């Protein structure tokens, strides 16, 4: 198996995974303001929330497109962001938003949201392709909807 991602029915997973998703949703919707409050409401520890929050995603229902949020750390060189955008486009992603912080210490963090409905390759391959671009120091998946 080449993929790092699996689709698993929640009935075979420990209950804490679903609780992490519920806690993240409470924070996202503004029902709570702090992680500790969300964790307490769903019955998990803060450490459990932080341990799994970046690795567990719930699929959205009734969505016409599938979205992914990528986080990257790019070196402050001309053309790096352009190569990243071209790479995503070449793989079938449609860029929705780009958030780039000013470079600090010759590095800039970038968050890109993209419609990934038309991807020609899996997410693992996309992240590997991003890593192979000169100037990309770190690349990862923050969320999938």
pLDDT tens digit string along 107-120? 999 999 999 988 88
Ramachandran class of 124: left when φ > 0, alpha when ψ lies in -120 to 50, beta otherwise: alpha
Q: Report the alpha-carbon distance of residue 45 to residue 52 in Å, rounded.
A: 11
Encoded tokens for 98: 């780009």
What are phi and psi for residue 140, nearest 5 degrees?
Answer: -160, 170
- For strands 67-75 and 107-115, give the pairing: antiparallel
| CA distance to 19, 74, 98, 108, 139, per residue, from 105 (Å) | 38, 11, 21, 8, 18
Q: What is the pTM (predicted TM-score) of this model?
A: 0.60
Domains of the chain: 10-52 (no CATH), 67-144 (3.30.70.260)
Locus of tokens 């450490």 = 47
pLDDT tens digit string along 39-89? 999 999 999 999 998 888 776 544 456 899 999 999 999 999 999 999 999
């Amino acid at each position: 198996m080449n993929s790092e991602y699996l689709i698993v029915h929640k009935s075979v997973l420990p209950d804490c995974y679903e609780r992490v998703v519920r806690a993240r949703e409470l924070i996202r919707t503004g029902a709570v303001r702090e992680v500790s409050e969300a964790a307490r409401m769903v019955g998990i520890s803060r450490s459990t929330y932080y341990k799994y929050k970046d690795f567990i995603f719930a699929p959205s229902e009734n969505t016409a497109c599938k979205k992914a949020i990528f986080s990257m750390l790019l070196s402050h060189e001309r053309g790096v962001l352009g190569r990243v955008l071209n790479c995503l486009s070449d793989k079938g992603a449609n860029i929705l938003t780009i958030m780039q912080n000013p470079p600090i210490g010759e590095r800039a963090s970038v968050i890109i949201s993209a419609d990934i409905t038309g991807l020609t390759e899996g997410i693992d391959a996309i992240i590997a392709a991003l890593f192979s671009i000169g100037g990309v120091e770190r690349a990862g998946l923050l969320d999938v909807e």
